[in-house]
């Protein structure tokens, strides 16, 4: 086998590899952060979040702190889950000694030991675990579940916001993603699914500033690029890998306007998101 062929194999392997740090950011800000949308869209999840409140209706807060990695506090109560980036006051604190350890929580190989809030562990073993089970159902939905149009709509929305958050974290932390982000100019790229709720689209903005990415759900009146899917079914088929994005562009099912170079680089990061979320 030639050295060139070996080099190509190594390149392909590198493109498929997941970096533990980047995966931790996606798992915390993207996956657990998706509990916000889950509680907003799933009545079952909303009930679990409502039952999490402390006596007097005070929200229950759970802090996740990863050494040399991300930190976030989830605030449960009133039927909602609100994520707050960074380490702050919390009722239950779950520290992790490394990004790999935190990723182990997500894949079920690590059991966390709280350093605060032992009397509230029941929430973790009951409500929180049930919430993650429901989240998995929405993200890895069966054909039977997707046959329900209400579930289909909610599941696709949860997935849409998760993918957008994954793009941000990959652009900020993944080696290949950071290189791609270094070619992005400052501005806002809008991702949109047309006719999500009547005439109202499902939208998110990827904000680029000094080659760092962030997410906004409140699009400014002017943005620099737009990628819009013609409908929810198309978006779902793309997320599930059933159709080609390039083919959809050619058929006019995906609209791309504005700074096409910006969209091209974001598409490259989207390719990496598919690796991390597989």
- The answer as to whether 5 is a domain residue is no
115 and 153 belong to one structural domain:
no
Residue 114 has pLDDT above 80, yes or no: yes
Beta bridge partners of 187: 208
168 and 135 belong to one structural domain:
no
Across 44-186, the runs of DSSP E, i.e. the strands, are: 60-66, 71-77, 80-85, 92-96
Residue 55 has a pLDDT of 75
- The answer as to whether 59 is a domain residue is yes
Residue 123 has a pLDDT of 87
87 and 179 belong to one structural domain:
no
150 and 171 belong to one structural domain:
yes
* Structural domain for 59, as ranges: 17-139
- % of residues, the chain, pLDDT over 90: 76
The pTM of this model reads 0.91
Reported as a pLDDT band with limits 50, 70 and 90, residue 168 is: very high
158 and 102 belong to one structural domain:
no
- The answer as to whether 211 is a domain residue is yes
Residue 53 has a pLDDT of 66
Least confident segment among 123-132, 170-179, 244-253: 244-253
pLDDT: which is higher, 243 or 35: 35
Beta bridge partners of 44: none
- Among residues 123, 139, 155, the one where a domain terminates is 139
pLDDT: which is higher, 152 or 7: 152
The DSSP symbol for 116 reads B
- Among residues 139, 169, 189, the one where a domain terminates is 139
Over residues 261-271, mean pLDDT: 93
Least confident segment among 18-32, 52-66, 251-265: 52-66
Residue 210 has a pLDDT of 97
Reported as a pLDDT band with limits 50, 70 and 90, residue 140 is: very high
- The answer as to whether 11 is a domain residue is no
200 and 128 belong to one structural domain:
no
Map tokens 């089970």 to a residue: 133
177 and 259 belong to one structural domain:
yes
Nearest to 160 by CA among 217, 106, 112, 96: 217
Over residues 91-95, mean pLDDT: 96
133 and 158 belong to one structural domain:
no
- Among residues 111, 139, 167, the one where a domain terminates is 139
- The answer as to whether 10 is a domain residue is no
200 and 241 belong to one structural domain:
yes
Reported as a pLDDT band with limits 50, 70 and 90, residue 6 is: very low
Residue 100 has pLDDT above 90, yes or no: yes
- The answer as to whether 6 is a domain residue is no
User: Residue 233 maps to which CATH number?
Assistant: 3.30.1050.10
Mean pLDDT for the chain overall: 91
Domain total in the chain? 2
92 and 150 belong to one structural domain:
no
Nearest to 266 by CA among 197, 186, 189: 189
Over residues 253-270, mean pLDDT: 94
Residue 233 has a pLDDT of 93
184 and 168 belong to one structural domain:
yes
DSSP secondary structure string, 150-205? HHHHHHHHHHHHHHHHHHHHHHHH-HHHHHHHTTPPSEEEEEEEEEEETTEEEEEE
Residue 265 has pLDDT above 80, yes or no: yes
């Amino acid at each position: 086998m030639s050295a060139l062929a070996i080099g190509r194999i190594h390149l392909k392997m590198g493109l498929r590899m997941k970096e533990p740090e980047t995966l931790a950011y996606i798992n915390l800000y993207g996956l657990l952060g998706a509990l916000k949308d889950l509680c907003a869209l799933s009545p079952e999840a909303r009930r679990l979040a409502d039952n999490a409140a402390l006596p007097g209706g005070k929200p229950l807060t759970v802090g996740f702190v990863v050494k040399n990695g991300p930190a976030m506090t989830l605030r449960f109560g009133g039927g909602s889950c609100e994520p707050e980036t960074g380490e702050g006051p919390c009722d239950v604190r779950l520290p992790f000694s490394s990004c790999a350890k935190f990723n182990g929580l997500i894949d079920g190989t690590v059991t966390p030991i709280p350093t605060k809030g032992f009397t509230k562990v029941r929430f973790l073993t009951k409500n929180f675990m049930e919430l993650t089970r429901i989240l998995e159902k929405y993200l890895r939905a069966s054909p039977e579940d997707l046959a329900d149009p209400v579930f289909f709509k909610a599941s696709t929305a949860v997935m849409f916001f998760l993918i957008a958050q994954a793009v941000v974290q990959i652009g900020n932390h993944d080696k290949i993603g950071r290189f791609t982000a270094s070619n992005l100019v400052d501005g806002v790229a809008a991702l949109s699914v047309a006719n999500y709720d009547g005439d109202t689209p499902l939208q998110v903005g990827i904000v680029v500033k000094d080659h760092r990415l962030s997410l906004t759900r409140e699009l400014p009146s002017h943005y620099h690029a737009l990628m819009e899917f013609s409908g929810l079914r198309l978006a779902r088929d793309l997320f599930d890998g059933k159709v080609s994005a390039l083919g959809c562009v050619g058929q006019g099912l995906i609209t791309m306007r504005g700074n096409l170079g910006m969209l091209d680089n974001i598409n490259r990061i989207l390719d990496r998101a598919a690796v991390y979320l597989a």
